[in-house]
């Protein structure tokens, strides 16, 4: 007998649209794990191939590595001295932890791109006014010597890493000189073993800092 109802893929896609691929995977794997490893294995069997981030998260749990809380300490260090932080791509678990840890003097913006199908207003409502939604046309206004641009990485393997397509919209060659830091935060912690559908490969060296 199955642990899950038939519409599991649509459910995950809905969750990932508003929480981010990795945060949604963590949520699904955590709930499944409370029913035992067989539930996690079934989840991985059914959703692993279409969603390789979930496959990686489930694989880690099945290998015995528990899902831990998010520690933003390392990325905080890379952001020291910044007054404006613009984020491209979204991961709820990680941005929640980062915004909580950041000083109130740091302005935090989230670039509004067409890649995320979630409810943007609700996404911002979760941050009690700390997170500003920034239109693509206005993102250059966040640039400056004390500004940083951050995105989430899905595993680093040698010289390459994978990011949400939103990153490519903001991180062109003309953008590098106008932000002090281009920070990549590896939220997966391990390379994906399947073809990274939904994501884009970029050189790890295109970031000034990795965390």
Where does this chain bind another protein (CB under 8 A)?
2-8, 10-11, 13-15, 18-19, 23-24, 27-28, 31-32, 34-35, 39, 92, 96, 118-119, 122, 125-128
- Torsion angle of the four alpha carbons 204, 57, 85, 109, in this order, in degrees rounded to the nearest 10: 130
Output the smallest distance, CB 15 to another protein, in A: 5
Contact between 160 and 204 (Cβ < 8 Å): yes
- SS3 category, 108: strand
Which pair of tokens denotes residue 87? 């984020």
Nearer to another protein, 18 or 181 (CB): 18
Nearer to another protein, 92 or 134 (CB): 92
Output the smallest distance, CB 23 to another protein, in A: 8
Output the smallest distance, CB 191 to another protein, in A: 26
Q: Which residue has the tokens 């840890």?
A: 101
Cα–Cα distance list, 97 to 147, 160, 168 (Å): 20, 26, 24
Nearer to another protein, 54 or 182 (CB): 54
Output the smallest distance, CB 83 to another protein, in A: 23
Specify the length of the chain in residues: 211
- Cα–Cα distance, 79 to 153 (Å, whole number): 16
Nearer to another protein, 15 or 171 (CB): 15
Output the smallest distance, CB 113 to another protein, in A: 19
Nearer to another protein, 34 or 103 (CB): 34
- SS3 category, 129: coil
Nearer to another protein, 28 or 139 (CB): 28
Output the smallest distance, CB 145 to another protein, in A: 31
Task: List CB contacts of 194: < 8 A, sequence separation 6 or more.
Answer: 48, 49, 52, 55
Q: Which residue has the tokens 């991985």?
A: 44
């Amino acid at each position: 007998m199955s642990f899950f109802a038939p519409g599991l893929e649509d459910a995950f896609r809905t969750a990932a649209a508003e929480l981010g691929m990795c945060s949604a995977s963590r949520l699904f794997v955590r709930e499944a794990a409370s029913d035992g490893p067989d539930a996690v294995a079934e989840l991985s069997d059914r959703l692993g191939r279409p969603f390789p981030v979930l496959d990686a998260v489930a694989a880690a749990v099945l290998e015995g590595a528990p899902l831990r809380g998010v520690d933003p300490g390392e990325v905080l260090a890379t952001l020291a001295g910044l007054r404006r932080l613009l984020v491209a791509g979204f991961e709820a678990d990680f941005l929640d932890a980062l915004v909580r840890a950041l000083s109130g003097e740091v302005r935090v913006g989230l670039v509004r791109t067409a890649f995320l199908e979630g409810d943007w207003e609700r996404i911002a409502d979760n941050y009690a006014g700390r997170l500003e939604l920034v239109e693509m046309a206005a993102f250059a206004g966040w640039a400056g010597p004390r500004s940083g641009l951050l995105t989430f990485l899905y595993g680093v393997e040698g010289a390459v890493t994978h990011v949400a397509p939103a990153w490519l919209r903001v991180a062109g060659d003309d953008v590098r000189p106008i932000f002090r830091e281009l920070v990549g935060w590896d939220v997966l912690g391990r390379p994906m073993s399947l073809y990274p559908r939904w994501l884009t490969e970029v050189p790890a060296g295109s970031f000034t800092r990795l965390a």
